[in-house]
Amino acid sequence: MTIASAGDLVELIDRDARNFFFRLTPGQRLETHRGIFKHDDLIGQIYGTEVFSHLNHGFFLITPSIADLITDLKRNSQIIFPKDIGLILMKLNVRPGMTVVEAGTGSGGLTLALANAVGSTGRVISYDSRQDMQNLARRNLEQVGLLDRVTFKLRDIKDGFDETDTEALFLDMNNPYDYTAQAYRALRGGGFFGSLAPTANQVSDLLVALRRERFFFPEVIEILLRHYKTVPDRLRPVDRMVAHTGFLIFARPVMITSAVVQEETAEEAEEGET
């Protein structure tokens, strides 16, 4: 049995899936429309237990997942969805101890997922030219306790990244095609490049820029996530779904001396099962 302790980031969720995320802090209280909880009454409880507000409404005390936390982030920009983040982590080969560079920071959703995945021995370096964005991201990272893994840089990346020889770099910008040269210089040979773009036109422009800047083996991927109603004897997809968040683009920077043009090397891989 695991006991909820002061300082834990916890979730209270009732049977109708209404939920609250917060950090257990002695002396504080959580006020909900279904009643009040004193943190001190929650500290010491066994995780998974149903606890009751002063109005006797039950909530389960559980640990939030990173996916839950990202979905719940305060944001002032479009956030990258957990469905996309999962694939980004796989494709950028993110793992404990690694350093990853991203631009821009945005609301810090991807930053948070990266910081979580690289662990306490890894590092995330996050560029953004907007102070308000980075402030928000900083607060979001702080709330989940991962701020110390992130270096924020308030900078327009058109002048380049400080880093070189980076293993993985992600561009979440409106115009990623304007920064492929900078990304190339920041990455190690054969490193992992990723980007997200909402429109087909951006994808085309980025593919052109990537080819010009010696990024090979491009992939353009879209993820459709479908939820099902969870009634066992009436199993069916839910009525409506998110139809589009963005196209994910991945590629690998390589070193070539001659100006050999890469001609659609990805054609063969096109039915690749990823």
Interface with a second copy in residues 173-232 (CB under 8 A): 188-192, 198-201, 203-205, 207-208, 211, 216-232
- State the minimum distance, in angstroms, from the CB of residue 44 to a second copy: 14
Query: For residues 81 and 137, is the Cβ–Cβ distance under 8 A?
Result: no
Handedness of CA 109, 113, 118, 120 (dihedral sign): positive
- State the minimum distance, in angstroms, from the CB of residue 161 to a second copy: 16
In the bound state with a second copy, the residue whose beta carbon lies nearer, of 127 and 250, is 250
Q: Residues near 149 by Cβ (< 8 Å), separated by ≥ 6?
A: 115, 118, 119, 120, 122, 123, 124
Among 33, 56, 121, 132, binds a second copy (CB under 8 A): 121
- State the minimum distance, in angstroms, from the CB of residue 195 to a second copy: 13
Instruction: Show the binding pattern over residues 133-162: x = contacts a second copy (CB under 8 A), - = does not.
Output: ------------------------------
In the bound state with a second copy, the residue whose beta carbon lies nearer, of 10 and 137, is 10
CB atoms under 10 Å from CB of 196, counted, come to 23
Instruction: Give the separation between CA 169 and CA 99, rounded to whole angstroms.
Output: 9
- State the minimum distance, in angstroms, from the CB of residue 225 to a second copy: 6
- State the minimum distance, in angstroms, from the CB of residue 213 to a second copy: 13
Number of residues that bind a second copy (CB under 8 A): 110
Among 103, 113, 133, 169, binds a second copy (CB under 8 A): 113
Nearest to 52 by CA among 42, 62, 63: 42
Looking at the DSSP assignment, which residues form a beta bridge with residue 142? none
Residue 129, classified by CB atoms within 10 Å of its CB into exposed (0-12), middle (13-18) or buried (19+), is middle
Among 46, 76, 162, 175, binds a second copy (CB under 8 A): 46
Interface with a second copy in residues 247-266 (CB under 8 A): 247, 252-257, 260, 262-266
Among 17, 27, 56, 131, binds a second copy (CB under 8 A): 17
Residue 115, classified by CB atoms within 10 Å of its CB into exposed (0-12), middle (13-18) or buried (19+), is buried
- State the minimum distance, in angstroms, from the CB of residue 154 to a second copy: 28
In the bound state with a second copy, the residue whose beta carbon lies nearer, of 134 and 140, is 140
Interface with a second copy in residues 47-76 (CB under 8 A): 47-50, 60-63, 65-67, 71
Query: For residues 23 and 9, is the Cβ–Cβ distance under 8 A?
Result: yes
* CA 55 distance to own-chain centroid: 37
Among 73, 80, 92, 169, binds a second copy (CB under 8 A): 92
Reduce the DSSP state of residue 262 to 3 states and report it. Answer: coil
Query: For residues 163 and 125, is the Cβ–Cβ distance under 8 A?
Result: yes
